[in-house]
Amino acid sequence: MNAQEIISSISTRTGLDPARTEMAVGTILSVLEHEAGEDRIASLFGKVPGAEDLAHSHDVMAVSEGGGGGLLGTIGSAVNGLLGEKAGALVNGVAQLRASGLDVEQIKQAGETLLEQAEAAVGPDAMKKIVDAVPGLKGQLGL
């Protein structure tokens, strides 16, 4: 399974158009990369061709570095400064998803489906390590 197949599956399941689905998947993958760490996410990126490129093209930390993002971007930058990159990545990711017009249910559906697809690719143990490394993931993304 590659990143495009995951995007197609999520788009079909959620009813989101492919472009918004790609943004959502890339954003969530970027959050996982920044928060879970390269050592944990490497197995996912290695088994899902295109996932790493997708995460990098929707890099949640690029939002705060560019100074944009309005109030949520400002909050994300402040959290990033106070608590470090890991906390800022999740805040920036949620802000990016909401700014795109996705509602809470769409974010939840996209996140759940992505995690299911990722688990199928890397196995439940590896996926548990990734998710457990991101303590706020479930609360912030509604998973």
Report whether 130 contacts 45 (CB < 8 A): no
Domain ranges of the chain: 3-60+103-141
Band (pLDDT 50/70/90 cuts) for residue 65 is very low
Pairwise CA distance, residues 134 & 60, whole Å: 15
Q: What is the pLDDT of residues 106-126, one digit of tens each?
A: 899 999 999 999 999 999 999
Band (pLDDT 50/70/90 cuts) for residue 60 is very high
Long-range residue pairs from 90-93, CB within 8 A, at least 24 positions apart, any chain: 90/31, 90/35, 90/134, 90/136, 90/137, 90/140, 91/140, 92/31, 92/60, 92/61, 92/63, 92/64, 93/27, 93/28, 93/30, 93/31, 93/60, 93/140, 93/141
Pairwise CA distance, residues 55 & 83, whole Å: 22
Is residue 37 left, alpha or beta, with left meaning phi > 0 and alpha meaning psi from -120 to 50? Answer: left
With 90 as the cut, is the pLDDT of residue 72 above it?
Answer: no
Arithmetic mean of pLDDT, 13-32: 94
